[in-house]
Amino acid sequence: MNRLITEMSTDEFDTVIDAYIERETRDTGDLPAPLFYQTLRDIFGKVAELPGEETSIQSRFTIALERVAAGSRLILSSLPEASLPADLREIEVDLPGIRVLVGLKPLAA
């Protein structure tokens, strides 16, 4: 492919363009994955190495709980040394196959 577009005859280039338009009818235009990631890297700069890659779950806030069985109820309590953010409004519990969201209301004074 050593030709320059500007040096091609219009007839010759029109043949290229006809084939291009026809081929594009079968092409989704999606980038192949390697090109996609490389382009992303070009956009945002090189990827910094992350420790614990592929293994660690990055939780925004983790708190240790202890459980207390009280009759037919299970009570989960934070450990005495734990501190909770004052603006905590929701607790999320991720279990295999189930995700539990618990909304919190301030205690009545």
Partner 1 sequence: MTTTLRLPTDFTDGQQRLILKYLVEGRQALNQAEWRLILDGFDLLHQALIVTQEKTLTFRQVYQEQVDCPFADLYLAELLKLPDTTRGYPSLRARMARVITKRLRHDIPETNLPLAYCLYFWESFAAGYAFEVEIYRDLTAAGIDFEAHDIRNRHARRSPYDLKVLGLQGDIKTSLYFLYVRRGRGLPHDFYITRFYQGYRQRTLVVMLKPKAWDQIDGDTVKASLEKAARHFPLPATAKLEAGTIVIVDYEVWKQKVLRRQQRQHIGEQQ
* Site residues (vs partner 1, CB under 8 A): 1-6, 8, 10, 13-14, 16-17, 19-48, 50, 52-54, 56-60, 92, 94, 101
Please list the residues that pair with 77 across neighbouring strands: 66
Q: How far is the CB of 74 from partner 1 (least distance, A)?
A: 23
For 88, phi then psi, to 5°, come to -65, 125
Q: For partner 1, give the closer residue by CB, 36 or 75.
A: 36
Contacts 24+ apart (CB under 8 A), 84-89: 85/61
Q: How far is the CB of 43 from partner 1 (least distance, A)?
A: 5
Q: For partner 1, give the closer residue by CB, 56 or 72.
A: 56
Q: How far is the CB of 55 from partner 1 (least distance, A)?
A: 8
Q: How far is the CB of 109 from partner 1 (least distance, A)?
A: 21
Instruction: List Cβ neighbours of 75 (8 Å cut-off, separation of 6 or more).
Output: 67, 68, 69
Q: Which residues of 79-95 are buried (b: 16+ CB within 10 A; e: fewer)?
A: eeeeeeeeeeeeeeeee
